Each structure stands twice: as structure tokens, then as C-alpha cells.
Amino acid sequence: MARGVEFLGSEVAIMCGAMSWVSERNLVAAISNAGGFGVIACGAMTPELLDREIAATGNLTDKPFGVNLITMHPQLFELIDVCARHGVTHIVLAGGLPPKGSLEAIKATGAKVIAFAPALSLAKKLIKSGVDALVIEGMEAGGHIGPVSTSVLAQEMLPEIADQVPVFVAGGIGRGEAIAGYLDMGAAGVQLGTRFVCATESIAHLNFKKAFLRASARDAVATVQVDPRLPVIPVRALKNAGSDLFTAKQREVAATLDTLSTDKAAMLEAQLQIEHYWAGALRRAVVDGDVEHGSLMAGQSVGMVTKEEPVAEIIESLMAQAAQALEKRAA
């Protein structure tokens, strides 16, 4: 993990991926205090809210942590300014290719840029445009996902790019043996989300945590697209009445498209509506505890989440499992 540790400035190269409503000051500080690398989920926050969240996190830890910004946020550049004012050291750009000027703007603040690379060709492009590190995330992950599994992405991409920038592997990691495997293949570290949702320090509603503790891998299913004109990004979540509400929402937005023109602006607006839907639905489950109608975003590793335990213990057991696997191999 030496390379990942050097890049992140943490004790172990385990990032807790940003999770909207979950990755706030308490979980982020707990992860960083335990030696990992916490990342604040900015999601749809305003610059003022992000300002407060970074300051509050800084009050709870003196260890490094990052901020995750969504590329399609209408105030992306103001959010970058907020990070700059706080001297944020690492910015994770999620949700699509970085818009023009955003990489330069972040680098001018002195922060390192971590971007998601959904395919090898895009990874190469991102490295050329100057990103400092990459996350490759497979479809086993919770939340918005791509179409390819982590194991295939890792095999396709690590041999080609791992020597150029630090690469963090995400999606479906529940135990340390898997971490050891990806490190062996050239990864600098890993990113986990689902495994940390039930941490004692996570403020997720008790109902949300209980749903995770009950679920097995097969309960974490990806949404399906109902209309070919609406290329919605699939979301992996525990199946509930909310999953059906999402299908209904897609039909409703598609019906609006029937009566409107199919020009680009109308399409974009339709897609934005869908994204806003997700933010609201996730809040309903994580914050209000409505696990029937809200969104229970979770990855397939959810079956390996079996109890509520402190972040430090989760990281400790992941590291022990990884070390044991590597020692076995060396022997």
C-alpha cells in the first residue's frame, strides 16, 4: 500500500468512497482518525453547506481527508473555491468527465485530483489531461454504477495504467483477501463504501443500517432502464417499494418527453430530474429512515456487513485479512 499511502497521506490506502447523506463530518473524520482516508460527499450541497461541512470535519480530525464533487453540479467552480479556502488536499471528481477548466482550477489550488475511469481509453485520456490518481469502480458497487465488473476492469486496466498514476479499485470489496488480490495486481489502494455504512460512527438511520444487516448479495440489484430515449445511469440498491417508484418515475419523465420535443435541452432536463429523484430518495432512507419508499443504495458486498462496529475495527480486520493472505502467498 506504500504508494497509495504516500499519495493520500493516510496510514493505510483504504478510502471510504463518498456516500451522499452518509459521508458527512462524523464518518469522514472517523475513517481518517482510524488511519484510512475519508471523503466528504458534496452531492447537491450548496457552497455554503460544503464550507460548513469541511470546517466541521476539520474540527474532528487533524488527519487528511478529501472532498467528492459531482462534475454536473451547476456551481462546481464555486465548490472548488470553497475547497481551496480550506486547503483541501484531495478532490475526487465523480459523475462523468471533468468539464473544461475544472482540472486546471483544482490543480491551481494545490489539491490533487482523483477521477473515476470507467474504461481504459478514458483512463488514458484522463491521465493525459493531468489527473493525479484514478478510481476504477465495477458494477458490484452501491449507488450509480457502470456496466463492467470490478474483476474485469482490474484485469483490463491495472496492467496498462498502474505504473503511471496510483489506481484505487472499488466495487464489491468486503474482505481483506480481495484487497490483497488487487494490490498484487498493481493497485495502489482500494475504495469501499457499503462496508462502512453500518459503522458505529455512521449517522445513517437505524432502519437503514438494519436493512443492510438483513440483506444478502442478491438483494442489491441494479435498476433497469425503461425507455431507450432516457439513458439513465443504473443504480444498485436493495430492492424495495422505492425500486418500483423509480420505474414509475422513469415512465413519468418519458411521458413528458412524448409530449415535448426530443431536443437536447429537454433530454438533459429529463435526466437531471431523474438525478434529483435519487438524491431525494436516498435522503428519505438514510436520514428519515423510510426504508420502504426511499432508496437503499448498497453494493453486492452488503451480505458481508453483519454487525454494527467501529470504523477502527472494520479497518483493522480488513488489514489483518489482507496481511494474512499476502503472508500465505509469500510462504
Ligand X SMILES: Cc1cc2nc3c(=O)[nH]c(=O)nc-3n(C[C@H](O)[C@H](O)[C@H](O)COP(=O)(O)O)c2cc1C
Q: Please choose, from the candidates 78, 84, 88, the residue with its C-alpha nearest in 3D space to the C-alpha of residue 57.
A: 88
Q: How far is the CB of 184 from ligand X (least distance, A)?
A: 19
Binding of ligand X by 193 (CB under 6 A): yes
Does position 66 interact with ligand X (CB under 6 A)? The reply is no
Q: What is the dihedral of CA 3, 104, 115, 239, to 10 degrees?
A: 150
**Minimum distance between the CB of residue 141 and ligand X, rounded to whole angstroms?**
3
Determine the interface stretch with ligand X among 12-20, 99-107, 161-169, 177-185 (rule: CB under 6 A): 12-20
Kindly tell me which of 1 and 215 has the beta carbon lying closer to ligand X. 215
Give Cβ neighbours of residue 265 (< 8 Å, ≥ 6 apart). Answer: none
Does position 190 interact with ligand X (CB under 6 A)? The reply is no
The pairing of beta strand 90-94 with beta strand 112-116: parallel
Q: Quote the CA–CA distance of 296 and 279 in Å, as a whole number.
A: 11
Q: Is 5 in the site for ligand X (CB under 6 A)?
A: no
Copy the grid coordinates of residue 290.
423510510
Stretch that binds ligand X, among 121-129, 153-161, 171-179, 270-278 (CB under 6 A): 171-179
The 3-state DSSP class for residue 274 equals helix
Q: How far apart are CA 132 and CA 10, in angstroms?
A: 16
CB of 196: closest distance to ligand X in angstroms? Answer: 8
Lay out the site mask for ligand X across 292-321 (x = CB under 6 A, - = otherwise).
Answer: -----xxx-x--------------------
Other beta carbons less than 10 A from residue 45's beta carbon: 22
Residues that bind ligand X (CB under 6 A): 17-20, 22, 41, 43, 68, 94, 137, 140-143, 170-173, 191-195, 297-299, 301
